[in-house]
Structure 1
C-alpha cells in the first residue's frame, strides 16, 4: 500500500513539476494574490478527476479516439496564442498602464491587500479550466501514462492514484501560496511587465510546440 502511494506521489510530481501553461497561470494568480484558493482547488480537482479516469481504464477507451486529442491540440494551441499575445501586450504597454487598466486606479495607489478584488472570479475560473482541459499533454501524461503505470500495481492501483492526487494537491497549493507570499515584492508596474513578458513568451512557445508536434 505505502509503496504504491509513494510511487504515485513520485510519478505525479515528476509529471506536474514543469514549466507549462497551467503552472504559469497558477504562478501569476498567486503573485497577484487573486482567487488563489479557487485556482488551486480547480487545478487539483481537475488533476484528480483525470487521474481517476486514467486508473479506471477510461484512458484505454480514449486511445481509440485519436481525433479527440488532435482536436484538443489545435484548440489549445489557439488559446495559448491568444493568451500569450494578451500577456505580451500587457508587457509592452507603458509601465503604469497595465496595472491602472486592471485596477481602475493610478499605479501609485496599488496595494497588494486589495489585489483579490481586481478580476471577477468567472473569467479566472474559465481561463484556469481552459488551460487545464485544452492541454493535450494532460491526457497523454495524466490519463494515458499515469493510468497505465497505475494499473501495473494491480490491486494497489487506487493507492497509486491516491499518491498521484496528493502530488497534485501539494504542488498546486505550494505553487499558488508560495507565489502569493512574493506578491508584495512585485507590486510595481516594471515587475509586472517582466512577469507578463515571461508568461507571454512561455505561452507562445508552448503553442508552437503543440503545433510542431501535430
Structure 2
C-alpha cells in the first residue's frame, strides 16, 4: 500500500509542478506574503476534493457530459485572459515588494476569489485530477485506489506549501521593481497562452 501511495505521490507531483495559473498565483502571493496560508489551503483542499471525486467515479460522469467541460473551458479562457491583462498592466506600471511583510495590498476575499476562480474555472484541473488521476487510481483496485489518491493528495499539499512558503527566499531579488515587471510579464504570457490553448484545442 505504501508503494501505491508513493506512486500516487509521484503522479500528483508530476501533474501539479507544471507551470500553470495556480502555481503562478501561489508564487506571486508567496512573494508578496499576502494571504499565503489561505491560498495554499484553498489550492491543496481543492485538489484533495477533486482527486477524491475522480477516484470516486466522477470522471466517468464528466466524460459523459461534454457540454459541462465546454462551459468551463470558455469561462476559464475568459477569466485567464482578464487575469493576463491585469498582470500586463502591473508589468507596465512596475512595483516593489514589501520585504518587511507589511499589510497585504489585497483583501483576503479578493485573494480567495481569484484562487477559487483559477482553480475551478480551469478545465486542465479537471482533466489532471478528476480524469487522469482518477483513471490511474482505478488501476490499483478497490482499496489501492484510495492509497493512490492519498499519495496524490499529499503531493499536492507538499508542493503548494513549498511553493507558497519557499517564495519568501526570493524576496531580496523581488525587492527591485524590475524583477516584478519581469515576473508579471511572464505571468501575463503564461495566462494568455493557457487561455488561447483552451480556446483552440
Alignment TM class, shorter chain as reference: over 0.9
Q: How many residues align?
A: 200
1:151 positional shift: 1.1
Name which of structure 1's ranges 16-25 and 115-124 shifts more when overlaid on structure 2: 115-124
The TM-score with structure 2 as length reference comes to: 0.95
Q: Give the match for residue 119 of structure 2.
A: 132
CA distance in structure 2 between the partners assigned to 1:119 and 1:188 by the alignment: 20
1:17 positional shift: 0.9
Once the two structures are superposed, the pairs formed by residues 8-157 of structure 1 within 5 Å of their partners are 8-93=8-93, 95=94, 98=95, 111-154=98-141, 155-157=143-145
8 A Cα contact 1:29 1:176, kept in partner: yes
Q: What SS is found at the alignment partner of 1:89? A: helix
8 A Cα contact 1:90 1:196, kept in partner: yes
1:91-149 CA-to-partner distances (Å, cap 9, x unmatched) read 112x4xx45xxxxxxxxxx6322345221100000000000011101111110111011
CA distance in structure 1 between the partners assigned to 2:102 and 2:83 by the alignment: 21
Q: Give the match for residue 103 of structure 1.
A: none
Which stretches of structure 1, 4 residues or longer, exceed 4 Å deviation after superposition? none
1:53-111 CA-to-partner distances (Å, cap 9, x unmatched) read 00011111121111111111100000000000111011112x4xx45xxxxxxxxxx63
1:180 positional shift: 2.0
CA distance in structure 2 between the partners assigned to 1:185 and 1:115 by the alignment: 17
Query: RMSD in angstroms over aligned alpha carbons?
Result: 1.3
The TM-score with structure 1 as length reference comes to: 0.90
Q: What SS is found at the alignment partner of 1:112? A: coil
* Structure whose CA Rg is larger: 1
Q: Give the match for residue 104 of structure 1.
A: none
CA distance in structure 2 between the partners assigned to 1:62 and 1:159 by the alignment: 23
Q: Give the match for residue 181 of structure 1.
A: 169
CA distance in structure 2 between the partners assigned to 1:115 and 1:23 by the alignment: 23
CA distance in structure 1 between the partners assigned to 2:186 and 2:58 by the alignment: 36
Note the residue ranges of structure 1 that are not aligned, 5 or more in a row: 100-109
1:26 positional shift: 0.6
CA distance in structure 2 between the partners assigned to 1:85 and 1:140 by the alignment: 26
Note the residue ranges of structure 2 that are not aligned, 5 or more in a row: none
Q: What SS is found at the alignment partner of 2:119? A: helix
